[in-house]
Each structure stands twice: as C-alpha cells, then as structure tokens.
Amino acid sequence: MEPERKLNLIVDVDSKSGFCYGVVKAIRQAENYLEKSEKLYSLGAIVHNNTELSRLSEKGMEVIDHKSMENLKDSVLFIRAHGEPPSTYSTAEQNNLKIIDCTCPVVLKLQQRIKESYKTLSERGGTLLIFGNRGHAEVNGLVGQVNGDAVVIEKMADLDVVNFSKPIAIFSQTTKDPSEYSALVSEIKMRIAKAGGPLEDFNSNNTICRQVSSRHPHLKLFAAEHTVVIFVSGKESSNGKVLFETCKSVNERCHKIEKADEISSEWFSFGDKVGVCGATSTPMWLLEEIAAKLRQL
C-alpha cells in the first residue's frame, strides 16, 4: 500500500489578523486579575471565540448574563471591550459589585459623542441613527446612552421609519463594513433631498474603528494573493461575518472555521498557497495552531 501523499501546502499566517487593541487589553487585564484570584465574572463573553473562552474559563472566568448579574452580590464584575449602558453600572453599584472596566477606548469615545449629539438633536426634534446589529452588545451599550431613543439601522429598509425632514445624525458600530456605511449615508442624503430637508441638518459620523476598517482592503489583497483562504472566527462574531465576506468577495475558495479539527483536506490541491487569517476576536495563537495543522497535510 502506497503511503498517503502529502499536499505540500505553502501556508502563510496574516500578520495583521488577531485581536484588536481593545480585546488585547481586556484579556490582559482579565488574566492579571485571575493570577491572584480564583473567580472572575464576565458580563457577556469577553470575546466571540469559543476556543479562547475555554482557555479563560480554565483560569477561572465565568460568563454571566444581565439577569444573572442582578442576583450577583459583593463580587467582582468584568465589563468587556464592547461597553455597557449606564443601567449596568447602576445595578452594579446597588449590588456592591466591584467593576473591572475594560470598555475599549474607541467605544468609550463613541458613547460620549452619542450622548452629546443626542442632546442637540432632541432639542430640535431630530433622530439619532446607529448603524449596527440590533441586539449586539456594543449597540446595546450605545442605545443605552440615550435611554433607548435611537433607531438602529441594520439594512436600508430600516430607514423607512425615519422622518427625513428633521435633523438627523448617524453613528456606526465600530466593527461594521466601511463600504456599507458609505452606501447607507448616500441613501440617507438622497432621502433627505426627496423629503425637502436641508442637508446641513444631516450629521454623518463614521465611527468605524480604524484598526478594523483597515483590515478590509488588507484582507482583499491577502485573499487575492492565495489560492485558498482559511478564515478563523467564532460563529457569534459580527466582525468575523463581515471580514469573511470581504475575503470571499475576491476568493471563492475561502473557508470559515472556528477550530483546527474543522479543516477538510478536500478543500486543497497539491501545492496550494494557503492564507490563514481571522477576525478581531480571533487569537493569534489559534491562527498559528491552524497553520501548523495545515502544514502537516
């Protein structure tokens, strides 16, 4: 019987993939705390990646939801990079919870800008729009800054409820696709003109994180330079879904996985040049682990 022939894949790991700054900072602080303590309660998953969550769980991190937090007393609560609405901090104070606040600085600044913009808008009967995924942790935190008085826009059809004859301001979830944001702004301008409203009353704020937005053009180049792309991301990652589609748009042989055992040798031909990349919630150690398995095929 002949030995199985190796595929001799040429494997590259994208050096610009891996955790974004906000996630790196959050995980570092969580690990620092767990070096001295046995338990840390994280309000929501610190990162949308089950492999990394399992690693942190072994160190003592327990993920809880808002309902569980209401019954948590005299403990330490970890707030992840996504941020939280003011109501979370009020509940924590009532329950004597010490907070380790790891809200990303970019998200914190966005929350403040939304509060300031809303004050001006509300005085003039205007509408605050947030381009993002309804129910996403970051979006919940943003909407919470204005007591829910904002319209979340996921798709163009969501604009139908907006009064375009009044002042409008739009902000974006930090991990959205820049091209989708641009298309949305163009549509809003068109609807304002149709409604007879002055464009001077439209305030567009592209608040997509630069570290995230720069990955889109980079990943297009990366995907085009390889015959096969392995994109690594947790199933719950909003950013992962967007960046995977960016890769797929230039390379049809693009496969999305969460861990190494999902790799299929059938995806490859002999001598393929394989690129391994991932979302802002994907750890570099996992990308390297997957690359190592690919080199063994």
Is the Cβ–Cβ distance between 243 and 279 less than 8 Å? yes
β-bridge partners, 128: 169
**Is 171 exposed, middle or buried, given 0-12, 13-18 or 19+ CB atoms closer than 10 A?**
buried
Q: Alpha-carbon distance 285 to 20, whole Å?
A: 14
Which among 172, 163, 204, 174 is positioned nearest to 186, based on CA atoms?
204
**Is 76 exposed, middle or buried, given 0-12, 13-18 or 19+ CB atoms closer than 10 A?**
middle
Interacting residues of 58 by C-beta distance below 8 A, sequence separation 6+:
none
β-bridge partners, 229: 254, 275
138 in catalytic set: yes
Interacting residues of 262 by C-beta distance below 8 A, sequence separation 6+:
none
Is the Cβ–Cβ distance between 153 and 130 less than 8 Å? yes
Options 52, 84, 138, 258, the catalytic residue: 138
Tokens of 6: 């190796």
Kindly list the catalytic residues: 138
